[in-house]
Amino acid sequence: MDPTLAATLTGWRRHLHAHPGLTLHEGETAAFVAARLREMGVSEIAEGVGGHGVVATLRRGGNRSVGLRGDMDALPIAEQNDDVPWRSTVPGVMHACGHDGHTAALLGAAKLLLDDASWSGTVHLVFQPAEEGGGGAKRMVAEGLFARFPMERIFGWHNWPGLPAGTIAVHERAVMAAGCRFEVAFEGHASHAALPHLSRDPMVAAGHCIVALQSVVARNLDPLAGGVVSITVVQGGEAQNQIPHLVTLKGTARWLDAAAGRAIEEGVRRVAAGIAATFGVAAAVNWGPGVEVTANHPAERELAAEAAAAIGPLRRDVPPAMTGEDFSCFVAEIPGAFVWIGNGPAEGGRELHNARYDFNDAILPVASGFLAEVAKRALRAG
């Protein structure tokens, strides 16, 4: 990539990092995206698609089409990178997942495609809001993304700490897990803490349930299948000398195929009911909603691998992650593939969703280059 464009993209990425838009509040980011596209000479820009989504269209005849997606939202995390000039200026909000880099890289891909005379067809650049649990992809699809902007296939990516900077990982099938949030509420009968025989104690039931839930994956799933059940919130009790009447457990479950997902849900419901019966309380399980598995389609996976091999080092042996990704909504509708691009070493806790995370600007040329390359290959592909 021309060093001037790389420097421009770095400047844009840092601007976005300094001015993050929380999930469902990406208006300023969307306006920035549309302004940069207009400066490049893009005339077809649809704003407000599925919330703050922006879809820009590059059209050069032909009847072939492809979509490229970048997500734009930030997280409710207070940044701890005091040492960088592009530190977040919004209290309690930061780009801790590198979506600032995804947005900048998609702008870079637009520029590369505009300056490249070698392709024909239609490229839709999908700047997606509300990826972080805000249902942004689902809303874009529901509001007619693929009807308004028909595309044969779609490609996306995520920056990946721990993978060498600029290395592109293409997965065989599953890239990111399916998952959902769930709650288990135990309702009993409150009493004085010193008169426990007068209670039906939901606290003791909840304690046993936390432990028993760890057998759901361990004893119901094939050990080689991916599955996670994590309890992350325990709510209940006010007074230290009262056994409360209600304790609620909240958590998240993840899986890589639908059968594992059904087994996990059945397991959680069975354990909750069994524990409730054992301790003489009532259990109510609230399951979902969640995201589906982000799985590559075979032909698009190969297109992504060919584009990756042309741009940077390619890895095809990286296992999927149990994190979730909204891109799953797109590849549930049309064929597509999702790759990871290494962000470099995850030093000093610089992992995704960490208060010290920072996107690596050095990978912007690889990311923009990959997106432009895969789009061109998709437009030529059979």
What are the residues binding Ni ion (CB under 5 A)?
Answer: 97
Query: 139 and 65 in contact (C-beta within 8 Å)?
Result: no
Element of type H or E holding 250: strand 246-255
**Which of residues 97 and 307 has its CB atom nearest to Ni ion in the complex?**
97
State the minimum distance, in angstroms, from the CB of residue 94 to Ni ion.
13
307 phi and psi, to 5 degrees? -65, -40
Tell me how far, at minimum, the Cβ of 224 lies from Ni ion, in Å.
27
Task: Name the minimum Å distance from CB 255 to Ni ion.
Answer: 19
Asked whether 340 and 175 are in contact (CB, 8 A), the reply is yes
Judged by beta carbon, residue 62 or residue 319, the one nearer Ni ion is 319
β-pair partners for 191? 243
Of 352 and 375, the one with the shorter C-beta distance to Ni ion is 352
- What's the closest the beta carbon of residue 97 comes to Ni ion, in angstroms? 3
CB of residue 191 vs Ni ion: minimum separation in angstroms?
46
DSSP strands (E only) in 72-193: 121-128, 154-161, 168-169, 174-176, 178-187, 191-192
Q: At residue 53, what is the residue type?
A: G
Residue 97 vs 275, nearer CB to Ni ion: 97
Shorter beta-carbon distance to Ni ion: residue 97 or 169: 97
Least distance to Ni ion from the beta carbon of 137, Å? 12
Q: Are the C-beta atoms of 194 and 243 separated by less than 8 Å?
A: no
Exposure pattern of 34-44 as b/e (b: 16+ CB <10 Å)?
bebbeeeebee
In this complex, which beta carbon is closest to Ni ion, that of residue 45 or of residue 228?
228
60: which residues sit within 8 A by CB, 6+ positions away?
Answer: 119, 120, 121, 122
Q: How far is the CB of 74 from Ni ion (least distance, A)?
A: 10
In this structure, the number of other CB atoms found within 10 A of the CB of residue 251 comes to 19
Q: Cβ of residue 70: shortest distance to Ni ion, in angstroms?
A: 11
For residues 71 and 257, which CB has a smaller minimum distance to Ni ion in the complex?
71
- Residue 72 or 263 with smaller CB distance to Ni ion: 72
Work out the number of other CB atoms within 10 angstroms of the CB of residue 161.
Answer: 22
Determine how many CB atoms are found less than 10 A away from the CB of residue 193.
Answer: 16
Q: How far is CA 368 from the centre of its chain?
A: 19
Q: 11 and 107 in contact (C-beta within 8 Å)?
A: no
3-class SS of residue 189: strand
Q: What secondary structure letter does DSSP report for 335? A: -
- Whether 136 contacts 50, CB under 8 Å: yes
Residue nearest to Ni ion (CB): 97
